[in-house]
Amino acid sequence: MMDWAYLFEIALNGVASGGLYALAALAFVLVYKATRVVNIAIGEMLMIGAYLFFAFAASFSLPIWLAVLGAVLGTGLLGAVVERTMIRPLLGEPPISVFMVTVGLASILVGLVEIVWTADQRRLPEFLPKTPVMIGDAFLAPKVAYGALVALVLIVLVLLVFRFWRGGVALRATASDQAAAYSMGINVPRVFSLAWVASAMIAAVAGIIVGSIGGISSSMGVFGLSVLVVVIVGGLDSVLGALVGGVFIGLVEALAGSYLGGEYKLLATFVVLVVVLMIRPYGLFGTHEIERL
């Protein structure tokens, strides 16, 4: 006999943690849309955000809000430096070269974290409210619930900014046709920087939330693996895909984890990935690109 209340609770938790996937996937899609770069280091940028927060909040004992701000700005700066020094020089090179550079970037970031903070797991200072959240009869872990709330607010904010601000319009135009955007007076290199900085900042917030739920370590970049699944399922260049895919993968992981056992989480996720790739290779909401020679 199926326990509906239990299922509801599991689903709710899945959706909530899916919110974090959605947020991180949004960071990935932003860079891909604007610059066509597959940033494999997205999980590691998340990690840098979490560690910077750890440094500001725990080591320097700054107030939480200041530590968050510092971590977001610091990671944004990292995004700018990465774009300027590693990505822009590769403009016009084959996508696989740029992809490999981001693989290297991931290793460099892990190495940096291990040099500065060692490979030990650490706990972030508690700052999310501790009262359990009840939705109907379903119980939601407070960290997961508030984390999802923060993710939701940030996602809405990002979408509004890119909908109504002309920088967002410039980004969409660049994503659509670089040459036309350039001739329209849009500073395409600056749009590239903007995309990387914004992506890094969003990743930082996601990293802080992920870290405060599960602790931080130099291997927390594997979170990026699930994010990759999310964006491939949703479609690399689709914001809607990132959001729907995030929630969907969160749900799949939660259901598989509870009904099949924790070791089946990744298996289920990758089965979904394979199925989606077989049916819609460009993702659920991705652009079906026609290569013209």
Partner 1 sequence: MPDAPRPAAAVSSSPVLQVESLTLAFGGVRALGGVGFEVAPGSITAVIGPNGAGKTSLFNTISGFYRPSQGRVLFEGRDITRLPAPQRARLGLARSFQNIALFRGMTVLDNIKLGRHSHLKANVFDALLYLGRARREEAELRRDVEERIIDFLEIDHIRHAPVSALPYGLQKRVEMARALAMQPRVLMLDEPVAGMNREETEDMARFILDVRDEWGVTVLMVEHDMGMVMDLSDHVVVLNFGQVIAQGAPAAVQSDPEVIRAYLGAGDVGALRDKLRGAQATAAQA
| Nearest distance in Å: CB 160, partner 1 | 6
Q: Quick check: 184 binds partner 1 (CB under 8 A)?
A: yes
Angstrom CA distances, 144 to 2, 25, 152, 228, 250, stand at 25, 17, 12, 21, 12
One-letter amino acid of 86: M
Query: CB 288 → partner 1: shortest distance, Å?
Result: 12
126 binds partner 1 (CB under 8 A): no
Q: What is the DSSP string of 191-234?
A: HHHHHHHHHHHHHHHHHHHHHHHH-B-TTGGGHHHHHHHHHHHH
Q: Which is nearer to partner 1, 2 or 290 (CB)?
A: 290
Q: Does 169 bind partner 1 (CB under 8 A)?
A: yes
* Using rule CB under 8 A, residue 92 touches partner 1: no
Longest distance between any two alpha carbons in the chain, whole Å: 64
Measured CA to CA, the distance from residue 97 to residue 86 in angstroms comes to: 11
Taking residues 131 to 160 in sequence order and writing x for each that binds partner 1 by CB under 8 A, - otherwise, the string is: -----------------------------x
* Least distance from partner 1 to the Cβ atom of residue 186, Å: 6
Instruction: Report the distance separating Cα 168 and Cα 48, nearest Å.
Output: 25
Residue 185 as a binder of partner 1 (CB under 8 A): the answer is yes
Task: Supply the DSSP symbol for 122.
Answer: B
Listed ranges 44-52, 124-132, 177-185, 198-206: which one lies at the site for partner 1 (CB under 8 A):
177-185
Question: Among residues 221, 230, 215, which one has the least CA distance to residue 48?
Answer: 221
Full 3-state SS string of 238-292 = CHHHHHHHHHHHHHHHHHHHHHCCHHHHHHHHHHHHHHHHHHCCCCCCCCCCCCC
Contact status: 167 vs partner 1 (CB under 8 A): yes
Looking at 100-108, 133-141, 174-182, 223-231, which segment touches partner 1 (CB under 8 A)?
174-182
- Candidates 65, 100, 183, 261: give the one binding partner 1 (CB under 8 A): 183
Residue 279 CB contacts under 8 Å (≥ 6 apart), including other chains: none
Number of chain residues interacting with partner 1 (CB under 8 A): 22
Kindly state whether residue 270 participates in binding partner 1, applying the rule CB under 8 A.
no
Residue 170 touching partner 1 (CB under 8 A) = yes
| Residues between 215 and 234 that touch partner 1 (CB under 8 A) | none
Q: Name the site residues for partner 1 (rule: CB under 8 A).
A: 160-161, 164-167, 169-170, 172-173, 176-177, 179-188
